[in-house]
Chains A and B, each alone.
Chain A
Amino acid sequence: MAQHVLYRLLLAVPVLFGVLLLGFLLLQLVPGDPATVIAGPMAPPAVIEEIRRELGLDKPVIVQFFLYLVRVLQGDLGHSLISNTSVIEELAAAVGPTVELMVACLVWSVPLGIAMGTVAAVRQGGLLDRVIMAFSVAGVSMPIFFIGLLLMQYFGFVWQLLPFIGRGGPLWSIDGLRHIVLPAVSLGLIFIGPVARMTRTAVLEVLRADHVRTARAKGLREKTVVLKHALRNALIPVVTLVGLQAGYLLGGAVVTESIYSWPGVGRLAVGAILSSDFPLAQGAIMVLALAFIIINLIVDVLYAVLDPRVQRS
């Protein structure tokens, strides 16, 4: 197992390098000149040039990248061009809310998705199956910003049940809990669909397997057959899917955080890109990439735990 994890960790290094390089190059293509932003609207061109020199923006892109890489390896992500705060500090403050949002999303959407998928499988072809599958398709098809605005409109604006601006405090406080409901529900709604569909397919397949027939023949209760013998075996592809989708959730979190003014990494990245704050944008991209890699690593490990054949291969 340790060897497997080590192998996966080693694979993460070139991936991270690739993300850093790509992120750096893409940011060069984004329209915007940080020197102009810092200098302000009244600054004469000479001042802008001086700032550009100070920031090293006058050097060739590849030189800028390698200088950046050296600093990153030394644990220095630089300072925000806009607020002059350390990028690490800004990211550290934003990681917590993003993790909070993802956990709050997964904690209700994964069990519900699995439950819905299992119900749909057991009731295959019935009305409940169709309703659940229709709900799943709607969840997958609707863009997250639409779901977010819809929830905000009704639960926040029309019925005034829940707040929709920012983070109210730590998750264990009532205010914190109230503030996270709408973002977590918006994000979770896009997650339920794929989980439910995958669970349904997997459970259906397992329900037809020999060991399930044997379990039934032994006279086990249907509840035990479905939950212990069928669902447990069906969970392997579901775990993979949850892992992969959790990575994509980070993308969804960027939109959700922007809509609900949630102070997470996604919103930080968008703000940094829009204000040409290159060091901060680069840092945020790196954190998002790292999170994606870590999530995939966890999935790999879980996969190996659930199916020992993976380790052997």
Chain B
Amino acid sequence: MATTALKATARRLLAGGVCLAAAGLVAAPALAQSITVVREVDSDRYDPHRSTARAASEVLFMVADTLVSLDYDMQTVKPGLAERWEVSDDGKTYTFHLKDGVKFCDGKKMTAADVVYSLKRWIDPATKSPVAWRAGEVEDIVAVDDRTVEYRLKAPFSELLYQLTQSFAVVIDQATVEKLGGDFGVKGFNGTGPYCWVEWRPRNDLKLARNPDYNWGPPIYENTGPAQVEEIVWKIVPEENTRMAAVATGQSEITQYVPYSTLNTLRANPQLLVSQSDAAFWTYFAGFKIDREMVSEEAVRQAMVLAVDQDAIAENLYFGEVEPAHSYISQAALDWDKDLDDKLIRTDVEKAGKLLDEAGWKMESDGFRYKNGKKLSPVAYSFAGSTWQKLMEAMQGDLRKVGVDLDIQAFDATIAWGKMATQEFDVFGMSYPYISAGDALNLYFRSANTPTPNRMNWKDPETDELLDRGKAALDPETRAQAYGKVLEKVHQAAVWIPLYHEPMKLVQTKKLAPVKPHNIYGCGLYKGLDIKFQ
């Protein structure tokens, strides 16, 4: 009798469970024309002048516009909010003529005054923008009339247009900034982009809706507006395999954040498309603090550079999906000096050993080198986490072959930046995005930029002079030559160990028309104007 009763109870429970499951398994209709983009991390906020994270730029490019835009080749500047522009002969005045009919998401007309406000807010010391230097040495920015902006520099800055394509230079609405105060870019945003800000739930998702009035997109797109999907949801999924599974199962339509190890599996999936940009402008390197005793000898640094096998790292750690770096910047970058093509950094373990022998570092029975009783054991500071841990260990293995004992000390990202601002290490690991040789070299090798971002303490008046020359050059050849000389100089002094250039890869469902990956500041979707369902 007990069995009968229990069977009845179990039946009831089972029936309830089945109903629940059945209800759950009914396919839910997705919001028409809505796409979800999964990514690893969120930004701290979406204020163009206060956020330097790639995660912020990804969204800012979509919700706002810049005066000029950058073509897929990462070299050609195209119109943006400005339909045309002129540069004065002395290279100090840029005059931008704005497109007519541009409106903010709230319907307000955008004028030259908005451009002036945005750019001045960027360079205002009160804003404390960490990237204000990118705006050049500004004398003044003036609204000549409603549709003309004059950008006056104290000295020529040949990269200005490229810097103005970045998300730091987007145009924002003054009234919204003032109304929201500290909550600007947190609880709201008002830009002129192809998508409008809807809602941000920090660390979860950020929703953008199509701006129906948008028709002033950059000419690099076939569709200059409006956007072709109703909604974009940027969703944070920290776990990399979950992101991969999300795009494989259609829970995310597109992403650039999938582990390299899964790319071949994804390529084999007939429902997915993996595409890649031609150029890789995100470079990983290990830098030397050149005035630290352990690595102060040029020969030691050169030996360490020669000992590291970039090709093996790219092949073994990244399944051949990244480009081994044989220079500090990509050869495809703007202002790359072609004269350096035959002076690239190549692995040569034998030469590395010879250099160390000549420098007096003798190999002992334990397999490591010593000089005056001191072991050649540089301390390397790195980020904790899979990417840097693997990279540092690969370098450690290569360096061990020539008798160098790399002492790796990894820190959580939240303190690593602080640690790397100190003077207590010999080697550090870092990666960075850039648009041109000048962009990269001016940031990292200027004497004035010590202790950060010039963590190498590379102080050299000749480098500064060459950088000034490149920065002020009025023609591309002079600029490339000046930067080429800087690069040759720092290559020779072995200030960095170049590791690899990271290309932009997009994985998308074939339900979407193929999206061409951009590479601006590592933001593969750029303005998202070509995202559409097939």
Residue numbers of A with Cβ under 8 A of B are: 31-34, 36-45, 47-48, 80, 82-85, 90, 93, 108, 111-112, 115, 118-119, 122-123, 152-153, 156-157, 160-166, 168, 173-175, 177-178, 181, 221-227, 258-259, 261, 263, 267-268, 271, 274-276
Q: Is the CB of B13 within 8 A of A82?
A: no
Given contacts A42-B131, A42-B452, A111-B13, 5 further A-B contacts (CB under 8 A): A34-B414, A48-B421, A153-B245, A165-B251, A226-B5
**Closest residue of chain A to B453, judged by CB?**
A42
| B10 pairs with A222, CB closer than 8 A | no
Q: 0/1 per residue, B448-480, Cβ < 8 Å to A?
A: 000111000000000000000000000000000
Residue of B nearest to A226 (CB): B2
Asked if B201 and A222 make an inter-chain contact with CB atoms under 8 angstroms apart, the answer reads: no
Task: Give the 3 A-B CB pairs with smallest separation, nearest first.
Answer: A223-B5, A222-B1, A32-B414
Closest CB in chain A relative to B522 CB, distance in Å = 15
What's the least CB distance linking A92 to chain B, in Å?
12
Of the listed stretches B202-210, B363-371, B493-501, name the one at the interface; the rest are far from the partner chain. Answer: B202-210
**Are A43 and B183 in contact (CB-based, < 8 A)?**
no
Partner of B10, one of A42, A115, A226: A115
Q: Are A164 and B251 in contact (CB under 8 A)?
A: yes
| B417: Cβ under 8 A from any A Cβ | yes
Q: Check if A31 sits within 8 Å of B2, measured CB to CB.
A: no
B268 CB within 8 Å of chain A: no
Of B2, B17, B44, B201, which is in contact with the most chain A CB atoms at under 10 Å from its CB? Answer: B2
Chain B, residues 376-420, CB within 8 Å of chain A (1/0): the string is: 000000000000000000000000000000000001101101100
Whether the Cβ atoms of B6 and A174 lie closer than 8 Å is no
Known A112-B13, A263-B204: A36·B417 in contact at CB below 8 Å: yes
Residues of B within 8 A of A263 (CB): 201, 203-205
Taking the nearest CB of chain A, how far is it from the CB of B415, in angstroms? 5
Please, which residues of chain A bring their CB within 8 A of the CB of B2?
A: 122, 222-223, 225-226
CB pair B28 A261 closer than 8 Å = no
**A32: B residues at CB distance < 8 A:** 412, 414-415
Instruction: Provide the bound-state CA to CA distance between A122 and B238, in Å.
Output: 46
Decide yes or no whether B246 CB sits under 8 A from chain A: yes
A-B contact pairs, 17 of them (CB 8 A): A31-B411, A36-B414, A40-B130, A41-B453, A42-B452, A44-B452, A83-B202, A84-B45, A112-B17, A119-B10, A152-B242, A174-B23, A181-B24, A226-B2, A261-B237, A263-B204, A275-B414
* Tally of A-B Cβ pairs under 8 angstroms: 169
Interface residue from A37, A41, A165, A166 paired with B52 (Cβ < 8 Å): A41
CA distance A93 to B182 in the complex (A): 20
Flag if A37 contacts B414 (CB, 8 Å): yes
User: A40, A108, A258: which contacts B17 (Cβ < 8 A)?
Assistant: A108
Q: Cβ of A227 and Cβ of B131 under 8 Å apart?
A: no
Contact B28 A168 (CB under 8 A): yes
B499 CB, min distance to chain A CBs, angstroms: 18
CB distance A165 to B414 under 8 Å?
no
Asked whether A118 lies within 8 Å of B6 as measured between CB atoms, the reply is yes
Bound-state Cα–Cα, A47 to B451, Å = 13
**B112-161 interface (Cβ within 8 A of A):** 128, 130-131
Complex contact B1–A221 (CB within 8 A): yes
